[in-house]
Structure 1
Amino acid sequence: MNSCKEEEQQLKCAWVNGPIIVGAGPSGLAVAACLADNGVPSIVLEKSNCIASLWQYKTYDRLNLHLPKQFCELPLMGFPKTFPKYPSKHQFISYMELYANKFSIEPRFSQSVETAVFDSDCELWRVQTKDTEYMSRWLIVATGENAEPVIPVISGIEKFHGPVIHTSVYKSGADFINQKVLVVGCGNSGMEVSLDLCSHNASPHMVVRNTVHVLPREMFGFSTFGFAMELLKWLPLRIVDKVLLRMAHLNLGNTEQLGLRRPKTGPMELKNVTGRTPVLDVGALSQIKSGNIKVMEGVKEMTRRGARFVDGQEKEFDSIILATGYKSNVPSWLKCCDFFNEEGMPKTPFPNGWKGDKGLYSVGFTRKGLLGTASDAVKIANDICKQWTVKGPKNCCNAHIILRRETQ
């Protein structure tokens, strides 16, 4: 087999004796650990210079897990008992580092995947980075739902005189002291960034373009998410939603009076169908009620000094923060594959979206957070282990063998 293209004689070629995993975030680490636990070697390719680069480089300082730690554990290893109920960003990063060390996961850093394609002639996946082409029978896509920031198109944004940043580069409200800030987006990030700005004497104006479910993070001392999970064991989804909304009304009041209109579909059903996560309030709602966070309708257009809104108001701002979320980047590098849709999500919904054809797998695309990641990682490892046992090489001590093609 000609393992390197003639025009790429400088490219190193690597046969991987096990699956290729693209991405060293929680999803990639989880599936690598499950494979290792089953005696199957793998190689993890990571475009950044560290594990969990989204958490390390693209999250704000005050971030804590929005769900209790038992719902955010990766397979085979829980959080340290000393960690609080809602671990901080830095605690979660340290947990992932401990996890990688425990399972001897050593990703290949600075290996941004440019293309991945299935070679039907040799029935192998060819995964190309800047300097290496990796080949394997299995490819596991673990880049996840949140690989790239979503930058919305806003009329006139180029005219605005001040800085415009995405929450992926926002760190702290300390950079916005005494500023009037427009926060575009009202999800968990938009709410929490607005709250953080308040704590640093800034004046946030939060744009609410769509309907949104806001729930208390806890109800009567219990995690709202955990409470919902228990109810779902006994009650239909729509009944659980009715219970959650009733209790949210008792805890938070009528959020529609604050400009936060609720969707007609309940929070858990909406999450299942569309992936839209309800906002779990950690203090922003009280700041909205007190007027410290102003709720604004959609932006009609930006001006040099500020914004015009759809309700006719016009206001000046010093800075703009886009709390507009993230998206998958799979379509930019995975070629000739109909397993993913145009948005880079598996076409087959959870719980069956983890396995494609020809040795292709996906993990971290369930829209169900780390619980979904853990579930898929276990399934993938078990499936590959069966193939490894039946067809795999008897000698699996070496995870890969590097082959070089000498320049003629």
Structure 2
Amino acid sequence: MTYCLRELQGKMANDHHHHLPVPNTRRVWVPGPVIVGAGPSGLAAAACLKTKGVPSIVLERANCIASLWQTKTYDRLRLHLPKKFCELPLMPFPENFPTYPSKKQFVGYMENYAKQFGIKPVFEHEVKSAEYDECAGLWRVRSVGIKGEEMEYVCRWLVVATGENAEAVVPQIKGIGEFGGEVMHTSEYKNGDKFRGKKVLVVGCGNSGMEVSLDLCNHNAHPSLVVRDSVHVLPREMLGRSTFGLSMWLLKWLPIRLVDRFLLIMSWLIFGNTTSFGLDRPKVGPLELKSKTGKTPVLDVGTLAKIKSGDIKIHPGIQSVGNHSVQFVNGRVEKFDAIILATGYKSNTPSWLKENQMFSEKDGMPRKPFPQGWKGEYGLYAVGLTRRGLFGSSMDAKRVSEDIEKMWKAEAKHLSMTIGRSFTLQR
């Protein structure tokens, strides 16, 4: 071990000499895990570890916690699932919060959560690479601050909590560069105020696309929605209970296909046949589709009524875009003032995590299906990459903290004494 450490130090000195142009690179030995990302998943992991006596460092590229929620979501956003399914471990939502808390309430809850557990992330430090050093049996996590200052954190455990929504997905659409009006991703959309009286094309029919279309309607814009694929739209509530809660309860007693059949019958009774107004349902039921592909059914908050009434028009896929017009695959051409891309997000782990066992290079998600995807080799973990929302983040955070605690108790004293001295490396 000592030989390896000396070799690692030598390599670090070399790195310092040849690869790092910034003279003030600092190296820090972190006795506990480094957590990448200060969203709900990162906070949940840090809190669970803290209560078990394991310290951690949370690195965050933005200047605030939960930056996706704070800076890249629209004003009318509320939690899509009831609050009891969205609370983080060890701290329930305040009792006076509504069933579906608003964006502002949820952000406030997360800020209080960080305060409650004394979580102070290192903000404005973007992780550029994280690599396992086999010789030393340690992770080397390199980050760059807003002023270009470089840091290297050396740690035994690495927790990936950058989430499924790290980067906006912008599709290639023929001619979109020629479009004369505004083109934006939903991550830039706040509300429909500036689109009053304008014809707006929303591309993508997930929860965001549906809600943005409704918001545009409520601001007296004229939205159209591109629905390329089949989609399951379910009522947010049925029989006086949340559809999600009811589904979870039914799944305890019935097979998934039977629960799906029940959901589709109830949806048909409430909405009628969605195909009649342009929304074809997939052949596979909503819960089965979710478990197989990760594709979430849309929970309706009022958009469907506007589609039925014709206030929101439905179009098939886009063929090409012109100066102020769009041609659809059915040959129809229409004029629009703006295009909003509700085309979702993706994980960004392949861009910084130098590892190809646990995470797929294609989509940046764990290769192992749920519920095995939270643990990799060599002290690598994932929190909040299960395609199961905040509910999944809490489950992951608890598992990860329990796993690290076992090793922490066994190794912490020994590691701190032997490596801590060697690693107090100043420039």
Alpha-carbon distance in structure 2 between the residues aligned to 1:18 and 1:300: 52
Alpha-carbon distance in structure 2 between the residues aligned to 1:253 and 1:304: 38
SS of alignment partner, residue 186 of structure 1:
coil
- 1:307 offset after TM fit, Å? 0.2
- 1:393 offset after TM fit, Å? 2.1
User: Does the CA-based 8 Å contact 1:12-1:403 persist in structure 2?
Assistant: no
Q: How does 1:40-55 map to 2 (within 5 A)?
A: 40-55=54-69
Q: How does 1:15-54 map to 2 (within 5 A)?
A: 15-54=29-68
The residue aligned with 1:100 is 114
SS of alignment partner, residue 95 of structure 1:
helix
CA deviation map 1:337-376 (0-9, x unaligned): 3210021000001101000000000011101111111111
- 1:404 offset after TM fit, Å? 5.1
CA deviation map 1:228-272 (0-9, x unaligned): 011001000110000000001001110011110000111011111
Alpha-carbon distance in structure 2 between the residues aligned to 1:245 and 1:292: 25
The residue aligned with 1:368 is 388
Alpha-carbon distance in structure 1 between the residues aligned to 2:125 and 2:292: 34
CA deviation map 1:68-97 (0-9, x unaligned): 000001111100001000000010000000
TM-score normalised by length of structure 1: 0.97
Task: Look up the equivalent residue of 1:354 and give its one-letter code.
Answer: W
SS of alignment partner, residue 63 of structure 1:
coil
Q: What is the root-mean-square deviation of aligned Cα atoms in Å?
A: 1.4
Alpha-carbon distance in structure 2 between the residues aligned to 1:346 and 1:154: 29
Alpha-carbon distance in structure 1 between the residues aligned to 2:257 and 2:383: 28
The residue aligned with 1:228 is 247
Selected match of 2:406 from 386, 393, 405: 386
User: Does the CA-based 8 Å contact 1:20-1:136 persist in structure 2?
Assistant: yes
User: Does the CA-based 8 Å contact 1:10-1:405 persist in structure 2?
Assistant: no
Alpha-carbon distance in structure 2 between the residues aligned to 1:405 and 1:320: 52
Question: How many aligned positions are there?
Answer: 403
1:143 aligns with 2:162: yes
User: Does the CA-based 8 Å contact 1:117-1:127 persist in structure 2?
Assistant: yes
For the structure 1 residues 283 and 211, does the alpha-carbon distance in structure 2 shift closer, same or farther, using more than 3 Å as the test? same
SS of alignment partner, residue 392 of structure 1:
helix
Using CA pairs under 8 Å that are at least 6 residues apart, name the structure with larger relative contact order, 1 or 2. Answer: 1
Alpha-carbon distance in structure 2 between the residues aligned to 1:102 and 1:393: 27
Task: Look up the equivalent residue of 1:364 and give its one-letter code.
Answer: G
User: Does the CA-based 8 Å contact 1:118-1:124 persist in structure 2?
Assistant: yes
1:358 aligns with 2:378: yes
User: Does the CA-based 8 Å contact 1:350-1:366 persist in structure 2?
Assistant: yes
Selected match of 2:359 from 308, 333, 340: 340
Alpha-carbon distance in structure 1 between the residues aligned to 2:208 and 2:321: 22
Task: Look up the equivalent residue of 2:332 and give its one-letter code.
Answer: Q
Q: How does 1:209-288 map to 2 (within 5 A)?
A: 209-288=228-307
Alpha-carbon distance in structure 1 between the residues aligned to 2:249 and 2:311: 36
The residue aligned with 1:163 is 182
The residue aligned with 1:68 is 82
The residue aligned with 1:405 is 426
- 1:105 offset after TM fit, Å? 0.4
Alpha-carbon distance in structure 1 between the residues aligned to 2:415 and 2:169: 45
CA deviation map 1:89-125 (0-9, x unaligned): 0100000001111110000001100000001111110
SS of alignment partner, residue 339 of structure 2:
strand
SS of alignment partner, residue 393 of structure 1:
helix
The list of structure 1 runs, each at least 4 consecutive aligned residues, that deviate by more than 6 angstroms after superposition, is none
Alpha-carbon distance in structure 2 between the residues aligned to 1:132 and 1:100: 23
Structure with the larger helix share: 2
Task: Look up the equivalent residue of 1:230 and give its one-letter code.
Answer: W
Task: Look up the equivalent residue of 1:384 and give its one-letter code.
Answer: I
Alpha-carbon distance in structure 1 between the residues aligned to 2:271 and 2:239: 12
- 1:395 offset after TM fit, Å? 10
Structure 2, unaligned runs of 5 or more: 1-5, 145-149
For the structure 1 residues 390 and 403, does the alpha-carbon distance in structure 2 shift closer, same or farther, using more than 3 Å as the test? closer
Q: How does 1:106-121 map to 2 (within 5 A)?
A: 106-121=120-135
Aligned identity (percent) is: 59
TM-score normalised by length of structure 2: 0.92
